[in-house]
Structure 1
Amino acid sequence: MKKHFLTICIFSALAFGSISCSSDDNHVHQENKLEKFKGTWVGTFSGGDTGNWTATIDAAGKATGTVSSNSVASVNFVLTGNVTENGTINVSYSYSGEEVGTMTGTLTDKTGSGTWNSPVQDLDGTWTGTKN
């Protein structure tokens, strides 16, 4: 009987020892798919006009920055918009609170490209950029 009791004790200890709880068992880790776009981006645009743009994208996908045209010296347009989880970017740029144009395209974790359009100036073209 002592032999069976000892065997039962050993198996019980092994069974209870192999079951463990972790404080993370109920924690669901959600990956922020926008994190890869977070940072400072710089680029150029060409077509009906040429110039540079810069944008900072935060962890929520909000983009803010400036657009400067080579044909309109000393004017910085305000850039605002959003990036989606799949990398689609939609931003507008404005001057004195009035929207002048839009930029749309696609970002990867390091590069981006797309098109721009300024109905106010009747101009359009393409843009490219990289994340610093």
Structure 2
Amino acid sequence: MKKHFLTICIFSALAFGTISCDSSDDNHVHPENKLEKFKGTWTGTYSGDGEGTWTATFDNAGNAEGTLVSGSNTFNLTGEVSENGTINAEFFSGSTAVGTMTGTLTDKTGSGTWNNKVQNFNGTWTGTKN
């Protein structure tokens, strides 16, 4: 009986060791990409001293590229958003920076101010994620 008891104890210990060391139990921390919620295409309008529309596509690193349209003029728009939703962008005519857009994005909406430093125009903008 002692022989069987010892054998049962050894097998139990081996079985417990195998179960408790299962790699699926490891606590791997997968960092959350806090910029992922901004990823996608955003569209909006701006108004004030001038008015028009804008479109920007954000990647999962928070970088944006798009356009800003004012009447018959189309400007290239580039910028970035931080993890807390602060956005900073510039719009260009060719390689010349014409103005800036700053503000805040949530996971679905955004708003802020814009400034055209060439014409000394400014105003506000709003937008939504498509």
Aligned to 1:30: 31
Shift of 1:9: 3.0
Which deviations, in whole Å up to 9, do the C-alpha atoms of 1:16-69 show, x marking residues without a partner? 243123278485412111111000000000111111000000111111100011
Which deviations, in whole Å up to 9, do the C-alpha atoms of 1:76-124 show, x marking residues without a partner? 0110111111111100001121111100001011100001111211111
1:12 counterpart letter in structure 2 = A
Residue in structure 1 matching 2:127, options 110, 126, 129: 129
Any idea what SS the aligned residue of 1:65 has? Answer: strand
1:20 counterpart letter in structure 2 = C
- The TM-score normalised by the length of structure 1 is 0.87
Q: Tell me the percent identity.
A: 59
Cα 1:23–1:15 change in 2 (3 A) is: closer
CA distance in structure 1 between the aligned counterparts of 2:15 and 2:22, rounded to whole angstroms: 15
Unaligned runs of 5+ in 2: none
2:45 counterpart letter in structure 1 = T
1:58-77 equivalent positions in 2, closer than 5 A: 58-69=59-70, 73-77=71-75
Aligned to 1:2: 3
Cα 1:109–1:20 change in 2 (3 A) is: same
Residue in structure 2 matching 1:114, options 102, 112, 115: 112
Q: Which runs of 4+ in 1 moved over 4 A?
A: none
Structure richer in helix, relative to its length:
2
CA distance in structure 2 between the aligned counterparts of 1:24 and 1:12, rounded to whole angstroms: 18
Aligned to 2:90: 92
